[in-house]
Amino acid sequence: MGRDEPVLREEGIGSLSVQNAAKTFVRADCVALTHAAMRESLPSGSHSAYSCCRGTAKYGRMTIPAHLPRVEVRHDPLTCTRGQCGGLLETVGEEISEKLDYIPGRFQVIRHIRPKLACRPCGTIESPALPAQVIDKGLPTARLVAHVMTAKHVDHLPLYRQETQYLRAGVPISRATLCSWLGQGEYWISLLAEACKMALLEGAILHAALPLQGIHLLTAQLPQRAFPWK
């Protein structure tokens, strides 16, 4: 091991003992073996996504793995919705939007299929509107965003641990993407909290959930519990 000391000094760890350096090399080998085992355990379609996630950072929209099951949701109006036409519609094409969904324990993909329909009486082509999404033009469903927020704030699970869990499930989602989903979800939660606050303040009486300790009552010498009332 004495001949390895100059090499260690060149790497910037010359102040470490030879024993500590050996432990460092062992840890590096363990990490490499762990990554190799994770790659072997992933489905065949997700190896490239794992390499992209662990290698050089690449920007852009993430790709939904092809091995995930698909659940189709069709939006098929029967008659024309323009004015008072009411004519029968004929399918001339379709638009497909895929959203990444999560059911506790597994992922799935929700496919919103919106056919392009032509109305011969009024000579128009229309397509049903996509249902409102928690993130416009985003991949996650509201259920997946709620799961990420619950794991982060309720279960105290950091995003880097969630990233590892999803990677084991065959869906590599970067921490940057999870952080973006978290911010969008917190925006909607703040709107919901404000609406709940306004609904409470509109009431005639506002009940307190917890008592206030140390309030002096006029009829008592010692502090007693008291509840605020509006």
Retrieve residue 149's tokens: 């927020």
Q: Looking at residue 184, what is its pLDDT?
A: 93
Q: Is residue 194 scored above 60 in pLDDT?
A: yes
Q: Looking at residue 153, what is its pLDDT?
A: 93
Retrieve residue 102's tokens: 């999560």
Q: Looking at residue 178, what is its pLDDT?
A: 95
- Sketch the domain layout of the chain as residue ranges: 2-41, 70-199
Separation CA 136–CA 184 (nearest Å): 10
User: In b/e form, how buried is each residue of 117-154, taking b as 16+ CB within 10 angstroms?
Assistant: bbbeeeebebebeeeebbbeebbbbeebbbbbbebbee
- Distances in whole angstroms, Cα of residue 13 to Cα of each of 3, 7, 27, 30: 15, 9, 15, 20
The model's pLDDT over 143-167, given as tens digits with 9 standing for 90+, comes to 999 999 999 999 999 999 999 999 9
Most confident of 16-25, 59-68, 172-181: 172-181
Amino acid symbol at 143: R
- Distances in whole angstroms, Cα of residue 219 to Cα of each of 227, 228, 229: 15, 17, 18
Q: For the CA atoms of 155, 160, 165, 168, what is the dihedral angle to 10 degrees?
A: 180
The model's pLDDT over 54-109, given as tens digits with 9 standing for 90+, comes to 544 556 778 888 888 888 888 877 676 665 676 777 778 888 888 888 887 889 99
Q: Looking at residue 149, what is its pLDDT?
A: 94
Residue 37, phi-psi category: left (phi > 0), alpha (psi -120 to 50), beta (remainder): alpha
- Residues belonging to the chain: 230
pLDDT band, residue 211 (cuts 50/70/90): low
The owner of tokens 């509107």 is: 129
For β-strands 212-215 and 124-126, DSSP reports them as unpaired
The model's pLDDT over 100-149, given as tens digits with 9 standing for 90+, comes to 888 878 899 999 988 888 888 888 888 888 888 889 888 999 999 999 99
Per the prediction, the chain carries an average pLDDT of 75
pTM of the model: 0.53
The owner of tokens 């959930």 is: 209
* DSSP structure class, residue 169: T
Separation CA 143–CA 189 (nearest Å): 13
Retrieve residue 103's tokens: 């059911």
Residue 151, phi-psi category: left (phi > 0), alpha (psi -120 to 50), beta (remainder): alpha
Task: Give the mean pLDDT of 177-185.
Answer: 94
Give counts: helices (H), strands (E), the chain.
Answer: 6, 6
CB 185 within 8 A of CB 141: no
